[in-house]
Structure 1
């Protein structure tokens, strides 16, 4: 995610913090300082840090549950509106998706129960309205906020945890794409409600509404793409007209190709037409700046290029593009020669054409 940076690696997942998170810390610090001076400001910042520690634990609940089904979580990003665990994929079995979705709120339930026991049952939801009030006890607020996280995340609005449970339940009776579309519409409707409430005086709700709406739309499109990719072959989407670079080519040769074509990726092939790697536009520009135009492309190309056979299914090419973030998937003919390649951009163009033509 752009504008975020890594701070740690825990249990195989990279923990990242978005830069806007510090705007939240600053706002809480100033609000508390205005009400209670420096001690209140420090306590407010500590509270936010503890809240996001609970959010991080929530996301690791999802990650550990997903790991049970063989799904990795490459990274977890903390944002001012919460956390996002980027799973390689969501489990397609409804029962597994329910487990993964509920694992996050379950962590907050445990945290809230522990804090309530420590406090002797003094936590209450009214403390949520006093987030910026220094007179409210730190642990009381933290316990109440964890209760709120459970209740808020279980609202059946996709892509929140409750929405994922809704999608999973719908998927037991309807096709997954249809279940996702219904859950996404519910999520978008909820986003409009949040946005309206935000206009009445809470700007944070507006940001949450925007996030929910965009995420619901993106998830619906991703699942739709996944369903379509199972019915298409790689040949339906692959690029077949392209320029290649030889193993003896230099960066300056790639620059000329970049200027006279619309390609962003340049396959590097040997004399037999077999793929040796792919030079991406970003790698080309970086090499041109750092080592000069005479740099051999073999030194700066991407070598670990995923490949699929020309007769394979499109979903086999889509998986490394989505899950591993590969810039390109090479398509090989029966004799191992390069027949074409697939990128996320041209798959997206294929979907736009199909949607415009009314095909799904």
Structure 2
């Protein structure tokens, strides 16, 4: 039965995991120091040449749309640690009476190098402003009506602004800003943003500047900003993908393959998998999680222990997940595997050995650290010693994550050994896989564990596939050919007698696996020595007297 403590733990952990990105971002921002932003006029020659190069194509675009460039301004970043100045260029369309503000955004992690804000000002001093993939959770005065259609195109944003400004049935001001007037307008907008954020308790003034407030409005502000950022990222990535597709859609000479099957295989290799939506990933996570709970519940795992196991698995996979996201993996997600546990998946075309190493370590290492940390903390707390599930969680977290570090494929430890020691030797990879299979079968027999035995059965059915893949990779590596890897793999699959009896699905899976391995960089000897040394140290920790006090 679930105890009250278990239920509360599940609820708390669930809320934390569901909002983990918001929480981490809020923590980072909370410790940032902010400063007052001051706008000042500058001459054209004062703009850095690197910034000029970025601005030029967009400046040309605005001028082609009937805008005239008038003034330039410079202002400091609101974050105290960021000393890179930002610039605003002011343009005016005299025919349509539209103001355009081109703002550079030299901030690490920003989606675009600059933004363009199209603004119409009315005689009653109301303002309609249109951004593109930037507004997110921008705070503006009541007199400003803000639009962001997330086109991923400044040209489409201009077209939208022409419609947006019809939302106010008021006469439009026809006067262009003077240099001083434009400076005052820009400074007013920034000051008003600060005022509104203070008023809503998102931030507060200090003796040395400003700080974000630890408040619900602050967390909502961060959450809405992240949602907008993700939406903008999807739009801009899609735009970039379409642009690349157009660039590569020029007629090319079609390569000839021996039969229609190989032609279909080549087409499959060229196709990029469609990334799942956030809703689909959440649905997969919940459904697989339900299946995991039902399976392990029916297998006799105590219902009071099951929540602890789920939390340990989620923390483990979150380590992999965040490491993948950090290294730029695409289509990342977490899901449960009934009978076996959970997994984090992601896709990246060219992975370095260091990235593979860190991604593999990022799963078990946090769980071990958390478990040891809890034991150390509980040792000095009489109250916590009486709460059995806290110590149980710490013990399970250490044991399960340590077992995952064992040099057995496909555990994380096995992946570390394989990527650092056997990447250069495909045959050795297969023998390591075969040895892992034998160890798992022996463990199933000795422990009389049907689950471990079932795991071994799955590995058994993969032996033939892995053997043929290792042969394919070894043949490709021995070739002295300048032809693209994909074409060489297809040639081997189409002509090799070993692959004649394989159907298209198996050949496709083999080709993709071989292509991924061959594209992976080989580890340096320094990484091999240091990486394996640290890994062995982790394995030896339980045998050190100071590991658990």
Q: Which category of TM-score, normalised to the shorter sequence, fits these structures?
A: 0.3 to 0.5
TM-score under structure 1 normalisation?
Answer: 0.47
TM-score under structure 2 normalisation?
Answer: 0.33
Larger Rg: 2
